[in-house]
A and B are shown apart, each in its own frame.
Chain A
Amino acid sequence: MGKLIEVKNLKKWFWAGSAFGGRKQAVRAVDDVSFSIARREILGLVGESGCGKTTCGKVILRIHEPTSGKIFYDSEDITHIKRKDLIRLKEKMMIIYQDPFGSLDPRMTIGRAIAEPMEVHKTLAKGERRQKVMDLMEKVGLSSDQINRYPHEFSGGQRQRIGIARALATDPEFVVADESVSALDVSIQAQIINLLKDLQEEFGLTMLFIAHDLSVIKHVCDRVAVMYLGKIVETAPKKVLFSDPKHPYTEALLSAIPIPDPKKRKRGQILMGDVPSPINPPPGCRFHTRCPHVMSICKEAEPDMIGLNDSRQVACYLYDK
């Protein structure tokens, strides 16, 4: 399996500061991130809110322009391609949004909303689009006779299904699911997750699944990347990561998953303090302010990604031999 998406040393800094003379400061939302996603793989990207997960996903889709670094799509460098080529490329790269209430235009029937990507990319003849929309609606579990309804007539879960149908309208290869279930009730979450998994298999999608909920990640993904303050601290196949976390941050995240059994004692530790500001990240390892295993070197130099084996990397001095 080849790599469909590859990201090298990707950085995205936003500039914050007053418009009048004040010194502008960089918000390092994504700071030197590298990873790749194989074809038909679902990579989970987890981290606390504000760690740059969503920004990372949007930079890959070139919704945000990267500050530096390179993005490859099917081995083609798409970091600086022309707008015309980018639009052509966007036919193959879609995004499912977090908020099922905000991502649909309230004035547009869902039939038109789902057909919109096809209109933009002119994928099908006009007459065939309606049939395709109806097929898609059936696929995502909506009844095709609801095609002329408006978004406000649907529940949150149904709207998310509409969002998914829209994202699949142009038969994309790569889909970013940006917290696509976190706005939904837990019972609905399960339905949508299963739907996404089914569709991923049926369409052979490659996915970047962004979430802050590890139990969701555990259910969906093949591989997981853990992000902390704009950096990836660990990547590993899902099973390995959950059974044997290496990075102290991953460990802490896993121990924070609630276990629905009062007899089982919680192991591990609860992290103290807050995430430091991405405007002035701490020197050295970004996690050292909260790390239980902090050493003196952690405060001085940033740890590099260390490959423990082919599929597993971790950025921590504990594993530096």
Chain B
Amino acid sequence: MIRLSRLNQERWQRFKANKRGFVSLWIFLFFFVLSLFAEVIANDVPLLIRHRESLYLPLFREYAETEFGGEFETAADYRDPYVIDLIEEDGWILWPPVRFSYDTINYDLPSPAPSPPTRENLLGTDDRGRDVLARVIYGFRVSVLFGFILTFFSTIIGVSVGAVQGFYGGWIDLLGQRFMEVWSGIPTLYILIILSSIVQPNFWLLLAILLLFSWMSFVGVVRAEFLRGRNFEYVLAAKAMGMSNARVMFRHILPNAMIATLTFLPFTLSGSILVLTSLDFLGFGLPIGSPSLGELLAQAKTNLQAPRLGITIFLVLAVTLTMLVFVGEAVRDALDPRRSY
């Protein structure tokens, strides 16, 4: 366990005291960690196969059908009843809880896609016969990871820029502020639309483009903290003893600025998730076929005759974002400087 300073222990206690935020954090983390293991939870490939005294791990290796006594030397299709029968003649199969991956198409649906929930497809299928539950699990993972990575890099860039502007002030600050005014005037959405007509955006390209603009939300607050902090007497004292500027910034001012930044993080995270969702909804997001909450949302809109699609995705999004906001509120209250001394 990391040893916390007394101040941080108090903050942690205050955070824990906020039941709503604390519970939200654990629920969110539970689902996030769960979704990291999506391949084990929802997949069209068995986790483990026992066949003729030997074990097979199809998750990590492709096996030819002939290994199980089949006819073709192609990769075994585990959804094929013929293959399943072959294996189960002399062994057994351990399936994941959901027997579909995000791109598995269920060809034998009882009703035309989008089909209602069955025992096989717990949340039904979308209009291409893909399992909604699997797509939600994978989509959640992509969205949250995207949010985390975007937030992480935005914080690093935003805090650095804000720190330099606030610490040096003067011309650097003035130029930085004017640049940001111009830069924030560029409409992100148009840039994305234009770019996606030239290249097919993927996860990293999308991240890079959004990062071009998202770092600015941190600059204001960090800059203000540094403007304030650079005239603290202990900062001047550190400079007077010959400490380098970078070290003064890191050691003596950044801890103050991080409080304000930390308060922003959960809100930025939920914002990032929402941005990816809306881009996918509009069709300018992740490549076609990738699991994403926004793409499901778009399906819900085109298939109003199947309202469970819309209800599912609405609940997933609303619960995720609300939990993040609750966590954000708890963090904000825990770090409130008016209560810390």
Contacts and interface: CB of A to CB of B under 8 A. Distances in A.
A61 B240 contact: yes
Contact of B233 (A91, A102, A120): A102
A103 interface: yes
Interface in B204-263: 232-234, 236-243, 247, 251-252, 255
A105 B252 contact: yes
B338 to A, nearest CB: 15
Interface stretch (A93-101, A197-205, A247-255, A297-305): A93-101
Most buried by A among B6, B232, B236, B240: B240
A63 B240 contact: yes
Interface in A26-82: 58, 61, 63
A293 interface: no
A197 to B, nearest CB: 23
B237 A107 contact: no
Nearest to A104: B234
Q: What is the interface of chain B mostly: helix, strand, loop, or mixed?
A: helix
Interface in A81-121: 86-87, 90-91, 94-95, 97, 99, 102-105, 107, 116-117, 120-121
B107 interface: no
Given A105-B252, A107-B255, A152-B341, A120 B241 contact: yes
A103 B341 CA distance: 18
Contacts of A116: 238, 241, 243
Interface string A301-312: 000000000000
Interface residues of A, number: 23
Contacts of A104: 234
B239 A63 contact: yes
Contacts of A97: 233, 237
Contacts of A91: 242
A293 to B, nearest CB: 40
Nearest to B231: A102
A121 B255 contact: no
Contact of B243 (A102, A103, A120): A120
Contacts of A107: 5, 7, 255
B304 to A, nearest CB: 56
Contacts of B243: 116, 120
A181 B118 CA distance: 81
B4 to A, nearest CB: 12
A104 B236 CA distance: 10
B233 A90 contact: no
Contacts of B255: 107
B234 A105 contact: yes
A97 B232 CA distance: 12
Most buried by A among B232, B233, B239: B233
Nearest to A90: B242
25 contacts: A58-B240, A63-B236, A63-B239, A63-B240, A87-B242, A90-B240, A90-B241, A91-B242, A94-B240, A94-B241, A95-B240, A97-B237, A99-B233, A102-B233, A103-B233, A103-B234, A103-B237, A105-B252, A107-B5, A107-B255, A116-B238, A116-B243, A120-B247, A152-B341, A166-B237
The 5 closest A-B pairs by CB, nearest first: A102-B233, A90-B242, A87-B242, A105-B234, A103-B233
Interface of A: 58, 61, 63, 86-87, 90-91, 94-95, 97, 99, 102-105, 107, 116-117, 120-121, 150, 152, 166
Given A90-B240, A121-B242, A150-B6, 11 more contacts: A94-B241, A103-B233, A103-B237, A104-B234, A105-B234, A105-B238, A105-B251, A107-B255, A116-B238, A116-B241, A120-B241
